[in-house]
Amino acid sequence: MSEPVKVKRPRGKARVIAGKCIACGARCQSVCPINGVEMSEQGEPVIETAKCIGCVKCVKACPAGALEMFYTPEELAIIASFEKHGGEEIDEEELERRSRVAAYKGVWVFVEQNDGEAAKVSWELTGVGRELADTLGVPLSAVIIGSGVDHLADTAFSYCADQAYMINDSVFRQYRTEPFLAAMCHLIEKHKPQVVLMGATGMGRDLAGAVATRVKTGLTADCTGLGIDAKGNLMQTRPAFGGNIMATIMCDRFRPQMATVRPHVMPMPQQRQGATGITIPESCPIPESSIFTRVLEVITDKGGKDKVDVAGAEFIVSGGRGLMAKENFALLEELAEELGGVVGGSRSAVDAGWLPQDRQVGQTGKTVRPKIYIACGISGAIQHLVGMQDSDVIVAINRDREAPIFEVATFGIVGDLFEVVPALTAGVREMKQLRS
Amino acid sequence: MLVIACLKQVPDTTQVQIDPVTNTLVRDGIPFIVNPYDTHALEETLRLKDSHGLKSVALSMGPPNAEATLRKALALGVDRSILLSDRAFGGADTLSTSNVLAAAIRKLGESEEVGLVFCGKQTIDGDTAQVGPGIAVRLGYSQLTLVDRIEKLDLDAKTVTVRRKLEGRYEIVEARLPAMITVVRELNRPRYPTVPMRLASAKAEVESWSNEQLQLDVNSVGLKGSPTWVSRIFSPERQEGEIIGDGLNDPIAAARLLLDRLVQGDMLSV
């Protein structure tokens, strides 16, 4: 009798798929257990095939799908014979991790407020949080931390929240990182939410970055899309590489899954007056003497007559590189004035010094959703599109028929903006005269 | 007392293009630059060196070629420039990045007291604004983000007073040192290197620390220490709009046609 020959499943070797690498920062090299990946000057991997043990770690780590396994024809034949046998191997560590993750339940929205007045982005978040909570079959909670903020619970209920965790204490009268960080971490540790959403505002970003570090979990900034995958994990989509491409980010092994969303990115939900919910009073006693940060003064920046609120405007006429010079923005000002709107611009226009920074629309500027957005001489880099793609109507005016801006436009005019824009201004003016 | 600037070398994302056929990033010939916000963090570090006699250090975590960024910092006048580079640090998200930077700052603090750490408010490639707060929390420093002015630095009382630029308002905030401050571009105007400084920097030493110096758990750095991962990268699919009229040959008619469509569709009322 001979011993049965045990055939091992072939592991294959990793290789790079030409042209797909995005130089993400050497994730493949970082995970390779045998130091078999070198990085080129361009930041792309060079795999030492002789060293490769076929562990597939680099393939899994690659965000761009730029690595694959390959097998010899003989190996492929052996694999085919293995096909029927499958099944996931789960070790104890993995089991423990899964049960730890499963202990976190519920979707939370941090309600940002200033002197008891909530930032609108908080309710945009309860709107999207409602959808996530319904998909998961868990409650949606508002987290309200402040002084004199009791009334915000009812507002939260009217904007879809089931319940509100309330910390009402004078130490939280003004936002400071230390006490808010302590309170937020206290609540997270006590109640274990699976998702925590915050506005990507000055305050939200200050707090979210601190909280995620203290509770040692992942945080995804400036999400433009949030959804739940088949396993119940949060899919967080955001612009990446300076807004040149979109990426979906997962935080499936850690809890809570934390994300920030910029104002105006999510639609404002319908308010249901009189809706009720459960207020859960909480406390996190922090003596004022233990805090070493003091807000000495708050200066409200009402701005002069030049101050323009691009983010809140109903009509925006925006200019890009195609405007050629600062003085040409007068053309856009005229059209904007006729429409009762404001002038915005792309990053190129702001970088060229044609517009102040607070007029910039896009990934590093403002996110807008006006009734009509008129893009003049803007080619439409993704970093610009993510800032305006949710406008009700988008009009693109550009000489270049191939410009990506036409891909998001409701209506496009292929033509010279120096001819089309004045014609639009004259047309609107005429319509108004006919009316009166 | 030390004042430290954290820098990141980033691809100049304003020059990145998408290949319309393969939908992939075209990176050929894209230069690396110092993250623009970080140049203001570096400038503030140099100003405090000049005005208060603090010792300045530039720190950067990155691949070996990030040395170029740290050499620029030397040319501008920092006293020390340290590259944090290790295979194990690759593929890091913001949580594991702040772990490495905080460990380096802690190590610097063993031999000399750290007063302030400056970071740019965010990077232009990641745009997260998370590494600065991460450093502050890990080190227990005061956290002051979005600072556009240093009002007062009192080294005897160990306090700093800054102005923070927020949505529609400014805050004047006083905090205890050591403090981690993230800066906006209005804070200062970065200087240019002088020719002698640039020549001298070519020979000056950029120190390099790997995990051998920092001794961090390899499971807490790089990709392994990153809770978030990228599951998919894609160019968004979009619905093509409608082209109105012949704008090239008859712009006036095209403009009228557009206005008619907007009014008929109830999208515009005047």
The string of pLDDT tens digits covering residues A189-211 is 999 999 999 999 999 999 999 99
Nearest CA in chain A to B158: A292
User: Does the bond joining B178 to the residue before it have cis omega, within 30 degrees of 0?
Assistant: yes
For residue A239, the model assigns a pLDDT of 87
CATH of the domain at B39: 3.40.50.620
* Most confident region among A6-10, B26-30, B53-57, B241-245 by mean pLDDT: B53-57
For residue A87, the model assigns a pLDDT of 44
Please judge whether A242 and B16 are an interchain contact, meaning their C-beta atoms are less than 8 angstroms apart.
yes
Please judge whether A63 and B268 are an interchain contact, meaning their C-beta atoms are less than 8 angstroms apart.
no
Considering the domain architecture, whether residues B205 and B104 belong to the same structural domain is answered as yes
For residue A159, the model assigns a pLDDT of 97
Instruction: Collect all residues of chain A within an 8 Å Cβ-Cβ radius of residue B175.
Output: 292-294
Instruction: Collect all residues of chain B within an 8 Å Cβ-Cβ radius of residue A419.
Output: 247, 251-252
| Full 3-state SS string of A390-416 | CCCEEEEEECCCCCCHHHHCCEEEECC
CA distance A342 to chain B (A): 15
Nearest CA in chain B to A263: B167
pTM for the model? 0.83
- Nearest Cα neighbor of A184 from A174, A202, A200, A172 is A172
Instruction: Collect all residues of chain B within an 8 Å Cβ-Cβ radius of residue A20.
Output: 24
Please judge whether B87 and A221 are an interchain contact, meaning their C-beta atoms are less than 8 angstroms apart.
no
Considering the domain architecture, whether residues B206 and B255 belong to the same structural domain is answered as no
Instruction: Collect all residues of chain B within an 8 Å Cβ-Cβ radius of residue A399.
Output: 248
Considering the domain architecture, whether residues B212 and B101 belong to the same structural domain is answered as yes
Residue B163 lies in a domain: yes
Residue B82 lies in a domain: yes
H helices of A165-290, where? 177-191, 202-214
For residue A18, the model assigns a pLDDT of 87
Least confident of A224-238, B151-165, B188-202: B188-202
Please judge whether A410 and B241 are an interchain contact, meaning their C-beta atoms are less than 8 angstroms apart.
yes
> Is the predicted pLDDT of residue B240 greater than 80, yes or no?
no
Considering the domain architecture, whether residues B258 and B207 belong to the same structural domain is answered as no
Least confident of A330-334, B16-20, B105-109, B240-244: B16-20
> Is the predicted pLDDT of residue B267 greater than 60, yes or no?
yes
| Domains identified in chain B, total number | 2
Please judge whether B241 and A406 are an interchain contact, meaning their C-beta atoms are less than 8 angstroms apart.
yes
Considering the domain architecture, whether residues B138 and B270 belong to the same structural domain is answered as no
For residue A241, the model assigns a pLDDT of 79
Spatial distance between the Cα atoms of A299 and A133, rounded to a whole number of angstroms: 38
Q: Are A187 and A175 in contact (CB under 8 A)?
A: no
For residue A303, the model assigns a pLDDT of 58
The residue written with tokens 């005269």 in the block is: A433
Among the partner residues A25, A239, A339, nearest to B91 by beta-carbon distance = A25
Q: Are A257 and A234 in contact (CB under 8 A)?
A: yes
**Domain of residue B270, residue span:** 239-270
Burial-class residue A106 by CB neighbours within 10 Å (0-12, 13-18, 19+).
buried
Residues 6 or more apart in contact with residue A146 via CB below 8 angstroms: A113, A116, A152, A167, A168, A172, A173
Q: Are A421 and A376 in contact (CB under 8 A)?
A: yes
- Nearest Cα neighbor of B124 from B26, B37, B191, B190 is B37
Please judge whether A203 and B262 are an interchain contact, meaning their C-beta atoms are less than 8 angstroms apart.
no
CA distance B175 to chain A (A): 4
Considering the domain architecture, whether residues B211 and B255 belong to the same structural domain is answered as no
Average pLDDT, chain B: 92
Tell me the C-alpha to C-alpha distance, in Å, between residue A205 and each of A201, A214, A260.
6, 14, 7
Please judge whether B244 and A412 are an interchain contact, meaning their C-beta atoms are less than 8 angstroms apart.
yes
CA distance A240 to chain B (A): 6
Considering the domain architecture, whether residues B180 and B249 belong to the same structural domain is answered as no
Considering the domain architecture, whether residues B158 and B112 belong to the same structural domain is answered as yes
Nearest CA in chain B to A302: B168
Spatial distance between the Cα atoms of B2 and B115, rounded to a whole number of angstroms: 6
Tell me the C-alpha to C-alpha distance, in Å, between residue B269 and each of A218, A312, B261, B263.
46, 19, 11, 6
**The token pair that represents B270 in the structure block:** 């005047």
Instruction: Collect all residues of chain B within an 8 Å Cβ-Cβ radius of residue A19.
Output: 22, 24
Considering the domain architecture, whether residues B87 and B187 belong to the same structural domain is answered as yes
Considering the domain architecture, whether residues B265 and B151 belong to the same structural domain is answered as no
> Which of B221, B244, B249 to probe by mutation at the A interface, max A CB count within 10 Å?
B244
Considering the domain architecture, whether residues B79 and B191 belong to the same structural domain is answered as yes
For residue A1, the model assigns a pLDDT of 46
> Is the predicted pLDDT of residue B136 greater than 60, yes or no?
yes
Domains and CATH numbers, chain A: 13-87 (3.30.70.20), 101-286 (3.40.50.620), 308-435 (3.40.50.1220)
Residue B117 lies in a domain: yes
Considering the domain architecture, whether residues B18 and B127 belong to the same structural domain is answered as yes
Spatial distance between the Cα atoms of A212 and A260, rounded to a whole number of angstroms: 11
Q: Are B210 and B87 in contact (CB under 8 A)?
A: no
Mean pLDDT of B84-91: 94
Please judge whether B133 and A209 are an interchain contact, meaning their C-beta atoms are less than 8 angstroms apart.
yes
Residue B26 lies in a domain: yes
Please judge whether A435 and B270 are an interchain contact, meaning their C-beta atoms are less than 8 angstroms apart.
yes
Residue B226 lies in a domain: no
Burial A280-314, CB ≥16 within 10 A → b, else e: eebebebeeeebebeeeebeeeeeeeeebebbebe
User: Does the bond joining A287 to the residue before it have cis omega, within 30 degrees of 0?
Assistant: no
* Residue with the larger pLDDT of the pair B31 and A160: A160
Spatial distance between the Cα atoms of A390 and B258, rounded to a whole number of angstroms: 20
If contacts are CB pairs under 8 Å, which of residues 174-213 in chain A contact chain B?
176-178, 181, 201-203, 205-206, 208-210, 212-213
For residue B133, the model assigns a pLDDT of 98
Burial-class residue B174 by CB neighbours within 10 Å (0-12, 13-18, 19+).
buried
Instruction: Collect all residues of chain A within an 8 Å Cβ-Cβ radius of residue B154.
Output: none
DSSP-derived secondary structure letter, A26: S
Instruction: Collect all residues of chain A within an 8 Å Cβ-Cβ radius of residue B11.
Output: 23, 241
Contact of A18 with chain B, judged by CB distance below 8 Å, is answered with no
DSSP-derived secondary structure letter, A111: E
* Residue with the larger pLDDT of the pair B126 and A268: A268
> Is the predicted pLDDT of residue B166 greater than 70, yes or no?
yes
- Nearest Cα neighbor of A232 from A204, A200, A255 is A255
Contact of A242 with chain B, judged by CB distance below 8 Å, is answered with yes
Taking 70 as the pLDDT cut, the residues of chain A under it are: 1-7, 82-90, 302-307
Contact of A84 with chain B, judged by CB distance below 8 Å, is answered with no
